[in-house]
Amino acid sequence: MTARPLDGLRVADFSWFGAGPIAGNTLCSFGAEVVRVESLAKIDSLRVGHPFAMNSDGTFKSGYNVSGYFNNFNAGKLSIQLNLNTEQGQELAYRLIEKSDVFLTNFTPRVIDKWNLRYEQIASINPGIIAAYAPMQGLWGPHKDFLGFGAVLTPVVGISEMSGFPHRPPFGVGTNYPDYVINPGHTVAAILAALRHRNRTGRGQQIELAQIESVVSVLGTAVPDYLANGTVQTRAGNRSPIMSPHGAFRCADDPTSTNSPDRWVVISVRTLWPEVCDVLGHPEAATDPRFATFEARKADEDALEAMIGTWTALWRAEELAAALQARGVPAGVVQNAQDLLDKDDHIRERGYYQYLDHPETGRSAYDGVVARLSETPGYHAAPAPLLGEHTFDVCERILGLSPDQIADLMAAEVLV
C-alpha cells in the first residue's frame, strides 16, 4: 500500500453520529489509525439508521452492521466496545488516550463530565494529546448542554430562514448539511494545526469547536448586510439579486430514473439571455421588451420563469444542459444519487467513489477522500468495522492486556 501522510498517527475516536466520525474518517483515509470507541450501553444511532443493505429477496438486512449511513462515515476504522459507564471502562479509556495522539469527541459537556474525559483529566495522563471537543453549543455558555444534529443547527444559525420560498415556511437544506461538510472540515483543520504546533513545540492542547460557531460562518453576506444596511435577508427561493433567470426548470421526465422520473436543469443568466433564447428555440424572446434587459426580467420573474418552464419541459435534461453549456451559459442537471453513481461520466472517469467489500453488506460504494495528494494520496484501507470487531486486537496490541484479562473484562460487561 502507498504511504499516506498521517501514517503512524493514532486517534482515539469517542464521537458519534455525523460530525465527529466524519472528521475521524478524513484522518483515517489519510493514514491515521482511528480507534472508534463504541458500546451497546450507548449505541451510535447511525448503526440503526437507514438506508440498510438489502437481501436478495428485497427485504432489508438487520443488525448493527448494515447501515449504509454509518458504514460510509467509518471506513477503515477499528471498533472497540467499551462501556464508559463503568469505572474500569473509564480506566481503559485513559489507557487508550495515553497511547494516542488525538482525542476526538462531539458529546455534550454533560456526557464528558460523566465519563471523566475533560481536557485537564486526559492531559494529566498524556500531556501531548491533541484533544478536540466539538459539542453543538461549545463547552461553556448558557446553552452548553443543548444537543442536536445538523437539522437543528440549520435553523439555529439562520440557514433555514434563508432556505425556501418567501410565501412558504422556512424549509432548510433537506439534509443534516453541517454534519457532513462544515463541522468535520473545520475540526480536521484545527487538529492538523494543533499537530503542527506540537511538532514544533512538543506541547499538546485542547481544541474547542462549538458547532454553532463553525456553521454560522457559512451565512455569506447575511450578517454583513444586516450590519451595514440593517437588512435581514430571508427566503428568496432560487432567485438571485444579480442574475435572472436564476433557478431550476422542469424538463421531460426520464422513465429510467429510479423512483424519481422528474428531471430539472438549473440555469443562471446575467448577460447571455439571447443565447438561452436561441438554444430553446425562441430567439424572438431576446428582444421582447418584457425580457430583453436584466432589469426587465427582474421586474416580472414570475412570468419569465413560467415561460422558460414551458420551453424546457420539451427537453431531456442532459441534452439541454449540454446545449446551454456549449453556448457559454451556466447550466447543469439537477442530479440524484443514481446519476452520480451510474450516469455521471466525469465522476466515473475520476474514480471518486471507492468500492469496498463489507462482510455483511457486500460490495458497496463509499465516499472518496476529500482531496487528492500527488505524493501521498489517501484511500480507504478497509470497509467500516463491525461493532466491536477489533476489541480483542486493540486491547491486546494497544492497551497491553492479556487474553485472560480481556475475557474477564468481557464477562464483567466492561467490553460491551
Q: What pLDDT is recorded for position 259?
A: 78
pTM: 0.94
Whether 7 has a pLDDT exceeding 80, the answer reads yes
**Position 71 pLDDT exceeds 80:** yes
**Which residues on neighbouring strands pair with residue 248, listed in sequence order?**
266
Q: In this structure, what C-alpha cell is assigned to residue 107?
A: 458529546
Instruction: Collapse the DSSP code of 28 into the 3-class scheme (helix H, G, I; strand E, B; otherwise coil) and give the result.
Output: helix
- Is the predicted pLDDT of residue 53 greater than 90, yes or no? yes
All domains in the chain, ordered by first residue = 10-217+353-411 (3.40.50.10540), 246-346 (3.30.1540.10)
Residues in the chain: 416
Q: For position 110, what pLDDT does the model report?
A: 96
Beta bridge mates, 351: none
Other C-beta atoms closer than 10 Å to the C-beta of 250 total 17
Average per-residue pLDDT for the chain? 96
pLDDT of res. 149: 86
User: Is the distance from CB of 147 to CB of 136 less than 8 angstroms?
Assistant: yes
> Which residues are catalytically annotated?
179
How much is the average pLDDT of 128-136? 98
Give percent above pLDDT 70 in the chain.
Answer: 100
Tell me how crowded residue 301 is: count the other CB atoms within 10 A of its CB: 16
Nearest to 137 by CA among 119, 157, 166: 157
pLDDT tens digit sequence for 163-192: 999 999 998 888 888 999 999 999 999 999
Quote the CA–CA distance of 148 and 323 in Å, as a whole number.
Answer: 44
Minimal CA–CA distance to 368: which of 348, 389, 390? 348
The pLDDT of residue 3 is above 80 = yes
- Mean pLDDT of all residues in 142-157: 92
Q: Which has the closest alpha carbon to 207: 192, 225, 218? A: 192
Let me know: does 379 contact 354? Beta carbons within 8 Å: yes
| pLDDT tens by residue, 230-287 | 999 999 999 999 999 999 999 999 988 777 789 999 999 999 999 999 999 999 999 9
How confident is the model over 366-416, as pLDDT tens digits?
Answer: 999 999 999 999 999 999 999 999 999 999 999 999 999 999 999 999 999
Task: Taking residues 37-51, report their average pLDDT.
Answer: 94
